[in-house]
Structure 1
Amino acid sequence: MPDTPHNAPDLPAYDGPPDYRVVGRHGVYPETSHDEIARFNFLAQMNRHLSTQVMPGVGEAFEQRVAPAFQKSHDRTFKDRHEIRQALTKDPMWQWWSAMRRSTMESRQQAGRWVTLRQAEALNAKVGELTKGDKRLKLNPNMKLPRGVEAIDHHCMPGSYHTELVPGDVTGPANYDAGIFATTGGMLGRYNDGGGVAVAEWVKRNMGPDFKPKRILDIGCGMGHNVLPIAAAFPDAEIIAVDVGAPMLRYGLARAKTMGIENVTFVQDDVSDLKQFEAESFDWIQSTMFLHETSYKTMPKIFAETQRLLKPGGIVLHVEQPQYDDKMSLYEQAMRDWDAFYNNEPFWTKMHEVDVDAWLADSGFGANALIHDGVTAVIDKNVFPDAADDESEDFGRKAAWHVVGAKKVA
């Protein structure tokens, strides 16, 4: 007997995110129940629906209603992305899409927080046992947090990267780890490390076999999910991963140890002032989707520190969403700005309009030594076939980034 009723229409092939049950589970990954998995699957499906089915409707509304109405009332076209964003906020299609996008982010945080809080004692104890006395975890309890971190719950994450509910707390990073799948629809791979895998492959491909870094610095490492593939790809290198969030660093080391990666040291420090490290002591300095969470005042200091710390002949690479330039439409710029205004990423809009090349040059890198390219998350297609081939655009969250950096002239 057929599985479908007689004369039933042909259904399109499944075009959704992979099932949460195939997510990679390392040794400190939170346990999830049937209902918790169902919530994450729903949120992943909703995010995919918003990006592929609803967002195109915002574009149509802009072309058919928003832009013509502005032209009629102002007798001119838009002069910048800010005018477009302000006009879009008055349109019901944009309002619906924006409200749903914000709601799914808040729901994703609530779902992940529940998962980690209900098992907080067990998670904290497991990570504490794995990291106790390990010299590869260097915390500074007296460190003053940068204002741009302390004041903001980045991407609606309760407590951002640094809050500790109890001593030794890791529920924040565990929540972050468990819920990235829902936000990206699995487009970062089983272990949320597709970006790091892509960077490691880019370096091997573009720097050639003679580039054998002995010392690598990863700044703004978070829980280390993007630095671990680099460490695995260069097992003979010493990796220093720096972040301001002690919970992230604890969880990151425990995560690394359970995944068999032993060459990373996690250090708590302010990456704009790394006095503890000697000048010209690193062969490669890396950041992955980190700069947009700093500040306008801090970013030039970070660039200056990377120039100071880099050995002659070494490289610095920053992986980010693309900068706003004349090649990007004002509409796309306005849509990308959504994260700055509605997803607790206040530096997002300013960061993507600055002249990064000029800032790199001002920090001491020569204009002829700059690096520009792109990378796309590398994903196991046998596990996540649809996510690996997804062609939809979700401005600000697509797993494809620009690489900007420089080589320090010897």
Structure 2
Amino acid sequence: MTNNVDHQLKVSHSKDESSRQNFVQGMRSYILNDLSGYMRTVWDKKTEPNFIKSKGCSPIDGPEIHRTIKNETIFKFYSSMRCNAQEMVWRSVIPGIEREREDLAQRAKILSQSGLTAKGTVSSYADFKVPQYTSELDVHLMPGNYHEEHIDYDVTQGAIYDNGLSVFSFGLLGDRMEDITNSVSTFFKARYPDIQPTKILDLGCTLGHSTLPWKARYPDSEVHGIDVGGPCVRYAHARAQSYGVESHFHQMDAELTEFADNSFDIVYSCMFLHEVPLKHIKGIFKEAYRILKPGGIMLHYELPPNSRTSNYDGFYLDWDSYYNKEPFYKAFRDADVKSECDAAGFKDRSFFEHVAPSINLYGKDALLDAARNDESNKNSNVGRFGDGVMWYFFGAQK
């Protein structure tokens, strides 16, 4: 069953809509587990041996695998099914959200302005300029992307992302879709117990599912989230209010924030950088360096770089760059993130990278054991939505 939204912005989907969501969820699970597994079998037993017979060697990288396998029927079928399933994710949740659009906006406004359940703030601007690399795309094939607005105090795009992510992740992200940040923040706190942040910033926070777990790890900290989507930050704050978590959300560009120098102890992002062109990632790193306190930590949980994966896994993960409206995905995964951290000014030799086992799948004890021993770095399921998922993250110190 789909993990339906459980806070006060919950949408009342009809029985037909809920059934459709459950079907799409099951279909995505089949595509990403069974069908992708069959595609790998075809590659191992047919396509690669034929390539080796013809060329005298294996493909040198993911792009060569892509060029070779895309002529196979299984790849065409897999890609067609996956693209259609992705579009069906959004189509399965949009009708109920559009039906309640005005009511959702009113509920969000009441929650954000009440101050009854939690303190916190939210700011968004009608004249905010959304970066072109976001405004010209429907990332993840999501209609309207993160920023489209229809009415006053609109939260439609936040609601679409929240409800859609529940279908998209087929339970792997937990009840509140917070597994990635729960896993990484728990791992980080166990791995670096001497770091006690008092002010934390989430870049590209969308609906706040990557923001609130840091408040749970460090209850005395002041937690902020920024996003270029006005509907997202309004939704995120109302969601946080509904859960009773004090947090602050701002409509800002991560490359051009309005925070003072030396403001934060931790600046991080969750599955954000791969949606940004590399030249702007460089700017984001420099901005993070500016607003971090001396000794502060920048960290990003992301897809593992191609240098950390096999050629086949590189091909598999880069699929989204070609077919899922994420055109900057592969360039990010090809980048040398350590060099980019160094270029932004971070301390020489302060770079770190880890892999956190999913706390939702493996449990807290296994996660803490991995944090203490850090023996989880070699795993073929890193970043993949499937059995045994792991979460990769990297960072550096100012």
Residue 103 in structure 1 maps to residue 84 in structure 2: yes
Pairwise CA distance, 1:200: 2.3
Residue 267 in structure 1 maps to residue 254 in structure 2: no
Counterpart in the other structure of 1:148: 133
Q: TM-score, normalised by structure 2?
A: 0.89
Match of 1:120 among 62, 76, 101: 101
In structure 2, what is the Cα distance between the partners aligned to 1:115 and 1:191? 19
AA aligned to 1:226 is: S
Say if 1:82 and 1:380 are closer, same or farther in 2 by CA, change over 3 A. Answer: closer
Residue 407 in structure 1 maps to residue 397 in structure 2: yes
Counterpart in the other structure of 1:355: 336
Pairwise CA distance, 1:248: 0.2
Counterpart in the other structure of 1:4: none
Alignment deviations for residues 318-371 of structure 1 (CA, whole Å, 9 cap, x no partner): 00011101x522121111111111111111111001000000011111231112
Alignment deviations for residues 28-56 of structure 1 (CA, whole Å, 9 cap, x no partner): 12222222221111111111111222111
Query: What SS class does the counterpart of residue 319 from structure 1 fall into?
Result: strand
Counterpart in the other structure of 1:14: none
Match of 2:212 among 218, 228, 237: 228
Residue pair 2:309, 2:380 contacting (<8 A) in 1 also: no
In structure 1, what is the Cα distance between the partners aligned to 2:114 and 2:200? 23
Match of 2:203 among 183, 201, 219: 219
Q: Structure 2 unaligned runs (5+)? A: 364-378
AA aligned to 1:149 is: T
Residue 257 in structure 1 maps to residue 241 in structure 2: yes
Alignment deviations for residues 219-269 of structure 1 (CA, whole Å, 9 cap, x no partner): 11111111111123222211121110000000000000000102x110111
Counterpart in the other structure of 1:321: 303
Counterpart in the other structure of 2:27: 46
AA aligned to 1:259 is: Y
In structure 1, what is the Cα distance between the partners aligned to 2:223 and 2:208? 11
Residue 202 in structure 1 maps to residue 187 in structure 2: yes
Counterpart in the other structure of 2:373: none
Counterpart in the other structure of 1:5: none
Counterpart in the other structure of 1:12: none
Pairwise CA distance, 1:72: 4.4
Higher alpha-carbon Rg: 1
Query: What SS class does the counterpart of residue 279 from structure 2 fall into?
Result: coil
Give the alignment of 1:307-346 within 5 angstroms: 307-325=289-307, 327-346=308-327
In structure 1, what is the Cα distance between the partners aligned to 2:361 and 2:350? 34
Say if 1:362 and 1:346 are closer, same or farther in 2 by CA, change over 3 A. Answer: same
Counterpart in the other structure of 1:397: 385
Match of 1:305 among 262, 282, 287: 287
In structure 2, what is the Cα distance between the partners aligned to 1:377 and 1:23? 20
AA aligned to 2:59 is: F
In structure 2, what is the Cα distance between the partners aligned to 1:112 and 1:101? 17
Residue pair 2:353, 2:394 contacting (<8 A) in 1 also: yes
Counterpart in the other structure of 1:8: none
In structure 2, what is the Cα distance between the partners aligned to 1:394 and 1:158? 28
Counterpart in the other structure of 2:371: none
In structure 1, what is the Cα distance between the partners aligned to 2:310 and 2:178? 30
Give the alignment of 1:170-189 within 5 angstroms: 170-189=155-174
Structure number with higher helix proportion: 2
Residue 278 in structure 1 maps to residue 260 in structure 2: yes
AA aligned to 1:161 is: Y
Query: What SS class does the counterpart of residue 352 from structure 1 fall into?
Result: helix
Residue 81 in structure 1 maps to residue 62 in structure 2: yes
Counterpart in the other structure of 2:15: 34
Match of 2:47 among 51, 54, 66: 66
Query: What SS class does the counterpart of residue 372 from structure 1 fall into?
Result: strand
In structure 2, what is the Cα distance between the partners aligned to 1:381 and 1:197? 12
In structure 1, what is the Cα distance between the partners aligned to 2:73 and 2:142? 27
Query: What SS class does the counterpart of residue 260 from structure 2 fall into?
Result: coil
Pairwise CA distance, 1:24: 4.8
AA aligned to 1:241 is: G
Give the alignment of 1:287-298 within 5 angstroms: 287-298=269-280
Tell me whether 212-221 or 128-137 shows the greater mean CA deviation: 128-137
Say if 1:83 and 1:248 are closer, same or farther in 2 by CA, change over 3 A. Answer: same
Alignment deviations for residues 79-137 of structure 1 (CA, whole Å, 9 cap, x no partner): 33212112211100111111111111111111111121121121111112222487711
Q: TM-score, normalised by structure 1?
A: 0.87
Q: Percent identity?
A: 31
Say if 1:112 and 1:252 are closer, same or farther in 2 by CA, change over 3 A. Answer: same
Aligned residues: 377
CA RMSD of aligned residues (A): 2.1
Q: Structure 1 unaligned runs (5+)? A: 1-18, 383-390
